Structure 1
Amino acid sequence: MTTPNTLADPIEIAKFWKNRRCNESVHVALSGYEGHPLINVRVYSTGTDGIDRPTLKGIALAVRKLPELAQAIKKALVKAQALGLLDGGGE
């Protein structure tokens, strides 16, 4: 039997630019808070020194909510495609 990871150190899953200016990025990570595993989707601001720093913009949900979040994003993707909103690269 495997022991659940305590996620003392966040595990980065994905990172992508939020805008064309490349001064903000969206980070998706698995993390933990007080022993609870979380999925964290957060906007980071890139300073003039090139270091990404987390902002207050974002959401942290219990990992058990991840299937619901994934389903909601999948529905949004299908709807955006049906409306022709992604034909220009999504911006």
Structure 2
Amino acid sequence: MGTRKLELAEPVVVDRFFSNRRKDIISTALQSYKGHALVDVRKYMHDREGKIVPTSKGITMKVTRLLDLQKAISKAVDKARELGLLDGNEDDGGDE
């Protein structure tokens, strides 16, 4: 099956959530670059003026690797539960 060349005019934010008490944000977005569909998972923070700005902490990869990332995250969740690090659907906002 071939890959479709698709150019998005701007990134499409899929989800955002606070990662800690400082209200840093983890954002997941779909975007394109030179005909390649990409997924970007990145940490954002508030600058001194209160604007939300991206940091260098994150990953960008081809969308075709998204299912591999999903499997890796699922394995990490299962292992964290097995080790007693997660109970269920806890959401403490992260501590870092």
TM-score (norm. length: structure 2): 0.80
Residue by residue, what CA displacement relative to the aligned partner does 1:2-49 show, whole Å, maximum 9, x if unpaired? Answer: x76422211101101111121x11100001111211010001111244
In structure 2, what is the equivalent of residue 43 of structure 1? Answer: 43
Structure with more relative contact order (C-alpha pairs < 8 Å, separation 6 or more): 2
Amino acid in the other structure paired with 1:65: R
> What is the alpha-carbon distance in structure 2 between the residues aligned to residue 33 and residue 63 of structure 1?
12
Between 40-49 and 6-15, the greater mean CA deviation after superposition? 40-49
Equivalences, count = 88
Instruction: Please tell me whether residue 33 in structure 1 is matched to residue 33 in structure 2.
Output: yes
Unpaired segments ≥5 residues, structure 2: none
Q: In structure 2, the residue corresponding to 1:50 is in which secondary structure?
A: coil
Q: In structure 1, the residue corresponding to 2:73 is in which secondary structure?
A: helix
TM-score (norm. length: structure 1): 0.84
Q: CA RMSD in A?
A: 1.8
